[in-house]
A and B are shown apart, each in its own frame.
Chain A
Amino acid sequence: MALATRGGARAPEVRLERITKRFGATLANDEASVRLEPGTIHALVGENGAGKSTLMRILYGLLHADCGRILIDGVETPILSPAQALARGIGMIHQHFMLVPVMTVLENIALGAEGLRGLRALPRARLARELAELFGHYGFDIDPQAHVADLGVGERQRVEIGRLLFRGARLLICDEPTAVLAPPEVRAFLTILRRFRDEGRTVVLITHKLGEVLEVADRVTVLRGGRVVGEMEGAELDRDALVRLIMGDAGAAPSRTAAAVPIGAAPSRQVQRAANRGEQPMLAARELTVRGAGGRVLLERVSCAVHAGEILGVAGVSGNGQGELSAVLAGRLRFDEGTLQLGGCHYSAGQLPDAWQRPALIPEDRSSEGLIGPLRLWENLLLGRTQEAPFLRRGWYTHRAARAWARPQIDRFSVTPCDETLTADALSGGNQQKLLCARELLRGRRLLIANQPTRGIDITSTAFVHTVLRDFRATGGSVILISADLDEILALADQVAVLYRGRLGAAAPRADLDVEALGRAMVGLVAARRSSG
């Protein structure tokens, strides 16, 4: 079966008309209408929570719209399940792949494929041949007999795409596909998208990365608050116009300036970053090694140092040891070899600093590691800070006093709604992250470890978090910023190092950086250099 004709490559014209979807009290999609033309790369942009994913999940049959309809080639077509969507040639790849790691590529692609039912054996030979043809056609360098567990993230993504192509998908929905890719892989991915478009397929790209949109998109639909607020095509695509559409009026208002939100020590102390070279670093790690279950090495001979008034950026794609690195540098995970110096105290393998010695930590996953959803905002702010809370009288407190203590903190960090009695899970992602930042930065520690602090939050909140981190640095605090977002690292860090497969490369000053080499190091194309002493 020749693949180019599998299902026909030409995509149908798909129209979503006045789609409305509610979740409880929240209106996720408000009469949103989009027209997806065949042979285009159509980008859906907007802040987190704008309704882009929801809209596409409705198209893919994962959700059912409350009102509105879907028209395929002019014919009203209710899509009630992903199976129905796939039957009509609509496929979706998600940010977290739906692959079975212990199976081979071939088996994963065969999962759910047509014609394979009941007791019939897998026609392995035929499948292998067709897959090889498919992969070759698109230049995917993947062995169908390889186990998914052995593949890297970029390769797994291509397997996901391959699976959809194999099922004859003509309209591909990609939900934040580049979130897990390093820069060189992003370029390769975008090239694949262009290939699809040239074949006549439709690609829907859900993303918040405007750079990519400007690079590949033919048409852009902007969503805000569940509504379509603008459409742009080809030549008229302009970054500023897009940003204005995405943020609406909020984009015009300036974010809180540094002067308004001093954090930590008195801001009058002007700290020159370079001048601190002579002083003892706030944190110095030497040859730290962490082993996990079965002796597997999670971090290998990691060395780094950060001084007062400095931000050390650790770049790296998710899954290379960031969690362990943040935990061990924050004094919450025991290491097996090496030494750690925190603020003058030295710790060796197996030791952990006391609670009051540990740096503040913004963990990677705010909902499972950072905040406790069912607890209220003031309770979350109190987490781990009962020693220093001024309203405690010999261990007793009243709720009124606690709430009064919490309210100004919530306000200072722009958490909305500014109601300390709400539960943490009632806040949006951006506000949850701001709350987490508030708690950690107000602990009065001089060192902060931030792991993916702006993951999955809206643009305004991201800008706020960046401002807060800069303020912290300006007052002499140190930050170790671990992030998969290279733009963020480049914007904030004074020194940058790359984390790849548990090894940390030597840190280079921002000014001396070769961004291309950085991108390659993140994918391991350049062996990370060991730091020398």
Chain B
Amino acid sequence: MGSALAVAVVLAALIAVLLGVSPAALVATLGARFGPYAWGQVLFRATFLTFTGLAVALAFQAGLFNIGAEGQAVVGSLACAVVGAGLAPLPGVILLPAAVAAALAGGAAWGLLPGWLKARFGTHEVINTIMLNFIALAGSNFLMTRYLALPETVRTADVGASLPRLDNLVPGLHGSAVNASLWLALAAVLLAHAFLHHTAAGFKLRAVGRGLIQARTAGIEPGRRIMLAFALAGGAAGLVGTNFVLGYKHYYEDGFTGGIGFLGIAVALVARNEPLGIFPAALLFGFLAEAGLVVNTLLPREMVDVLTGAILLAFIVAERLRRRGGRDLLGGRRPNRAGGPEPPGAGAGPVLRGAAP
């Protein structure tokens, strides 16, 4: 990751220079204006990205592409707001867990759908999840305008209880939106790690992700693992609702997701799909976004997107080079091509075998 970052920094400097801005001025502005409030905002964004990054990473561990974190986040957040407002008279100690559970369940349900389709019919999850994103967004819009939004507004009713902002704890963060759902995000990451690496169910999930045929031959049914992976992933994305609805606005309105689902893919990639790497990666992208705002006067905000893309590209290339240096991960059986790296011990000649049924 270090070299990828270095490349990104160089690229940022290059872009700045091309746009007539001195990198030194950028750094100075950042240093001057990036105060505790900004850090609070970084944490706030990182909370979102941790949830969606986890949503993508968990699915990837099972060999699945979850492009639907956006839609899963919407469904989870909407469920969270509806339950939170619907149970309003109840005390917080009941209402909050119920709302969190609703966020989890809503996202999980929306994730289970493509999971089931894949397990039952073998349909490709990329297509399913992307389409379900559209359905979620449109569906939410419909439900809001027809049933759920308060009259004359575009938002739902207030929830009965909320998660406290962290600036109660750390006064320096005053005004920033980071709230107690940050703890939830960290807990989720730790739980995900424990699940993947220390439970039998997590082991089977990873096995299916690394070798579906081998796992099936050894007796593991892939279908159930796929559905579990997607349910967990969807649930993680749904927890986004705790940050937005319970911790920040206290209601739900359309459009807040604004691409965090897709940015979650970037986070998962940089974290190499390991839960423990998700939070640092989320911090990175959160920082980029906030820094973009801070130096807004000097550099257009869109440059943040350019930088994000640059980092991703650099990272992917670095990963490739790192892998190529060692053995081919899949047992080293590749067709003979002049000059290509050859695996040792292939004494019986090149074996061009496709995956057996």
Residues of A at the B interface (CB closer than 8 Å) are: 23-24, 26, 28, 46-54, 57, 61-64, 80-82, 94-96, 175-176, 179, 323, 327, 332, 355, 358, 361, 363-365, 367-375, 379, 382-386, 389, 392, 395-399, 424-426, 428-429, 439, 456
Contacts and interface: CB of A to CB of B under 8 A. Distances in A.
A425 B331 contact: yes
B330 interface: yes
Contact of A399 (B197, B348, B357): B197
A95 B347 CA distance: 11
A327 B207 CA distance: 20
A379 B203 contact: yes
A57 B343 CA distance: 13
Interface string B256-297: 000000000000000000000000000000000000000000
Contacts of A96: 349-352
A375 B337 CA distance: 27
Contacts of A358: 219
Interface in B209-255: 210-211, 213-221
A309 to B, nearest CB: 25
Contact of A62 (B213, B327, B330, B336): B336
Given A28-B344, A370-B217, A365 B353 contact: yes
Contacts of B221: 355
Contact of B350 (A24, A94, A375): A94
29 contacts: A24-B327, A24-B344, A28-B344, A49-B347, A50-B347, A53-B348, A63-B338, A64-B339, A81-B338, A95-B349, A355-B221, A363-B356, A367-B330, A368-B213, A369-B217, A370-B214, A372-B215, A373-B210, A373-B211, A373-B330, A375-B207, A379-B207, A383-B207, A383-B215, A385-B218, A397-B203, A425-B327, A428-B345, A456-B347
Given A64-B339, A96-B349, A375-B211, A363 B344 contact: no
A22 B227 CA distance: 44
B214 A368 contact: yes
Contact of B214 (A57, A371, A428, A429): A371
B220 A384 contact: yes
B161 to A, nearest CB: 33
B63 to A, nearest CB: 11
Nearest to A52: B347
Interface in B160-216: 197-201, 203-204, 206-207, 210-211, 213-216
Q: Which of B211, B221, B345 has the most CB of A within 10 A?
A: B345
B292 to A, nearest CB: 37
Nearest to B194: A396
A439 B217 CA distance: 12
A386 B349 contact: no
Contacts of A323: 356-357
Contacts of B350: 94-96
A277 B292 CA distance: 81
Interface in B307-327: 326-327
B356 A368 contact: yes
A327 B218 CA distance: 11
B341 interface: yes
Contact of A373 (B201, B219, B329, B346): B329
Given A369-B217, A396-B200, 14 more contacts: A23-B343, A53-B347, A53-B348, A62-B336, A62-B337, A95-B350, A95-B351, A361-B217, A371-B214, A373-B329, A374-B330, A375-B210, A426-B327, A456-B348
Contacts of A424: 331
B198 to A, nearest CB: 6
Given A63-B342, A398-B198, A386 B326 contact: no
B97 interface: no
Nearest to B211: A372
Contact of A49 (B199, B331, B345): B345
A396 B336 contact: no
B332 interface: yes
A311 to B, nearest CB: 21
**In the A-B complex, the 7 residue pairs with the closest CB atoms:** A367-B331, A384-B218, A372-B211, A384-B219, A95-B349, A26-B344, A48-B347
B274 to A, nearest CB: 14
Nearest to B346: A53
A315 B350 CA distance: 24
A29 B193 CA distance: 43
B355 interface: yes
Interface of B: 197-201, 203-204, 206-207, 210-211, 213-221, 326-333, 336-339, 341-353, 355-357
B342 A383 contact: no
Contact of B210 (A23, A82, A332, A374): A374
Given A82-B338, A375-B210, A382-B203, A397 B198 contact: yes
Contacts of B204: 386
Contact of B356 (A26, A53, A365): A365
B303 to A, nearest CB: 37
Contacts of B343: 23
A225 B329 CA distance: 23
Given A23-B343, A57-B336, A368-B213, A383 B351 contact: no
Contacts of A64: 339
Contacts of A51: 347
B200 A395 contact: yes
A49 B344 contact: yes
A47 B198 CA distance: 39
A426 to B, nearest CB: 7
A397 B348 contact: no
A384 B221 CA distance: 9
Contact of A397 (B200, B207, B214, B326): B200
Contacts of A63: 338, 342
A358 B218 CA distance: 10
Contacts of B353: 365, 368
Q: Which of A371, A372, A386, A456 has the most CB of B within 10 A?
A: A372
Contact of A425 (B220, B329, B339): B329
Given A53-B346, A358-B219, A375-B210, A395 B201 contact: yes
B238 to A, nearest CB: 24
A511 to B, nearest CB: 33
Contact of A429 (B197, B341, B345): B345
A23 B348 contact: no
A528 to B, nearest CB: 24
A375 B352 CA distance: 22
A62 B337 CA distance: 6
Contacts of A389: 200
Contacts of A61: 338
A369 B349 contact: no
A397 B199 contact: yes
A118 B220 CA distance: 53
A366 to B, nearest CB: 8
A396 B198 contact: yes
Contacts of A48: 345, 347-348
Nearest to B220: A384
A478 to B, nearest CB: 19
A377 to B, nearest CB: 14
Given A26-B345, A358-B219, A375-B207, A396 B199 contact: yes
A497 to B, nearest CB: 22
A57 B328 CA distance: 19
Contacts of B206: 375
Contact of A383 (B199, B214, B341, B357): B214
Contacts of A368: 213-214, 330-331, 353, 355-356
B203 A386 contact: yes
Contacts of B326: 24
A226 to B, nearest CB: 9
B199 A332 contact: no
Nearest to B351: A96
Contacts of A57: 336, 342
Given A355-B219, A383-B207, A384-B215, A425 B347 contact: no
